[in-house]
Chain A
Amino acid sequence: MATLDNRLACKPADFKSDVNPIWCPGCGDYHVLLSFTRAFAQLGLPPERIAVISGIGCSSRIPAYTNCYGFHGVHGRSLALAAGLKVTRPDLTVVVASGDGDGYSIGGNHFLHACRRNIDMTYVVMDNRIYGMTKGQPSPTTEPEFDTALSPGGTGVSPFHPLVIALASGANFVARCFSGEINETTTTLVEAIRHPGFSFVEILSPCVTFRPDEREWKSLVHPAPVAATSDPAKAARRIMTDDGFNIGILYRGNRKPYQPPVGPASVDICDLEKDFEL
């Protein structure tokens, strides 16, 4: 818990910008925004020390709704933006926001390598199992029987398991949250951000417009039956047999974060020429 001094410094409202979200009222992302601002306040960091990086999609709109530095980049590449930023500015706290389309489809390759690289940052994917921004196409986490305009009768293709992929690729912290549990999500986010290395938090965040069936998520989610493990094999087994609604921190790893030294030059620039001198 942040100290009194820290909490005097910033309230959640200090992390909210004055821009009104375009999200449909009822969208889970409003809850996520609350969790973000509460988590930032609890961490005791000033807004200018936090960078929220995103791609394209409804969830990716979140940076402009915070009062932190933000980058609303191109589709699927937020993790690359964040990697360049964090290794050159290790002093910043970097949070990456994405959705199941941006993060798992076009962003899939970067997802693997971000977990593998284990740079210290937190990756939050707001999973609503649909492409919301572009009006309702299936995503890599959509159920195979879910009917959409682009896939009449359902895709017939099974979703994949992002938490397993994260674990297999080397993520150092894996958790699942439900947007409706704002304070529980806040607590998890605080820990994820504090945890060194690449922290991956999937937040189930219902889309009120294209997945009205997701209203029942609040009855389906339940706390994970066992506490988090630091044993990847155990975690893998649990996550593989997960029902998709286990809420909580599922894995806490001990990998050393990747951070090359950044700092003053150890040589004079003229020394570099010695390679070429005749």
Chain B
Amino acid sequence: MSSTTEPKIGNLADLLAVAWQIEADAAERYDMLAGQMEQHNNPELVAAFRDLSRAEGIHRDEIKRLAGDIDVVAHAREVATWTKGESPEAVDLAGAHYMMTPWHALRLALAGEQRALAYFKAVVESTRDPAIKKMAEEFVEEEAEHVNLVHRLLRKHKAPPDSWSDDLDPPVSLE
């Protein structure tokens, strides 16, 4: 679903740009899902996804601050591209369902954070540049915190029963 070998990191600017992009993509993806949930009348999930989007937005802005003078937005256009798989925290749209519950959303988020974690771990492992290694290790810690946060949130929700997607109404034919 997501690669650990791309995008390639050549320098600190690259790392910051990719990290920024990962969070930006995540925020955008959650917003997309919030829009779907709004269109499909699932207000609980609209709130859930907007919250997730907001959180990712905060992470994204923090990375921008961390980057200081480096224009991560512009640089991300150059280096933060994925050809195989997607940006790690852009959660899988196929996991959406119009009757999904917050638990499902958090499971998606968890998978996303775990993928991001795996990516930064791989950067730590593969880089020879000490500066990159140091910063990547920071990101590993950050992502690990996110993973644990999601785990804690998940504990507040029970896994839904098997009938969670039962809709008494049949599908509607529009055309």
Binding site for B on A (CB under 8 A): 4, 7-8, 13, 20-22, 24-26, 28, 30-31, 34, 56-57, 133-136, 180-184, 187, 206, 208-210, 215, 218
Contacts and interface: CB of A to CB of B under 8 A. Distances in A.
A21 B39 contact: yes
B97 A57 contact: no
B94 A28 contact: yes
A4 B93 CA distance: 29
A30 B98 CA distance: 14
A31 B86 CA distance: 11
A128 to B, nearest CB: 13
B173 A134 contact: yes
B163 interface: no
Given A20-B36, A183-B82, A183-B86, A30 B93 contact: yes
B40 interface: yes
Contacts of A34: 93
Interface string B27-68: 010001101111110000000000000000000000000000
Contacts of A21: 36, 39
Interface of B: 28, 32-33, 35-40, 77-78, 82-86, 92-98, 100, 170-175
A183 B85 contact: yes
B39 to A, nearest CB: 4
A13 B27 CA distance: 13
Nearest to A184: B84
A13 B28 CA distance: 10
B39 A26 contact: no
Contacts of B98: 24-25
Contacts of A7: 77
Given A183-B86, A184-B83, A20 B38 contact: yes
Main secondary structure of the interface of A (DSSP, over half): loop
B96 A25 contact: yes
B140 to A, nearest CB: 24
B133 to A, nearest CB: 27
Given A25-B93, A183-B86, 5 more contacts: A8-B77, A24-B98, A26-B96, A30-B93, A57-B175
Contacts of A30: 32, 36, 93, 96
Between A26, A28, A57, A210, the greatest number of chain B beta carbons within 10 A of the residue's beta carbon is seen for A26
Contact of B94 (A4, A136, A208): A208
B138 to A, nearest CB: 27
29 contacts: A4-B77, A8-B77, A21-B36, A21-B39, A22-B39, A24-B40, A24-B97, A25-B36, A25-B37, A25-B40, A25-B98, A25-B100, A26-B94, A30-B32, A30-B36, A31-B94, A57-B175, A133-B174, A133-B175, A135-B170, A135-B171, A135-B172, A136-B171, A180-B92, A180-B94, A206-B94, A209-B171, A210-B171, A215-B94
Nearest to A26: B96
Contacts of B97: 24-26, 208
Given A20-B39, A187-B83, A4 B78 contact: yes
Given A4-B77, A183-B84, A20 B35 contact: yes
Nearest to A42: B81
B162 to A, nearest CB: 14
Contacts of A135: 170-173
Given A21-B39, A25-B100, A135-B173, A183 B83 contact: yes
A119 B98 CA distance: 40
Given A4-B77, A22-B174, A26-B97, A182 B36 contact: no
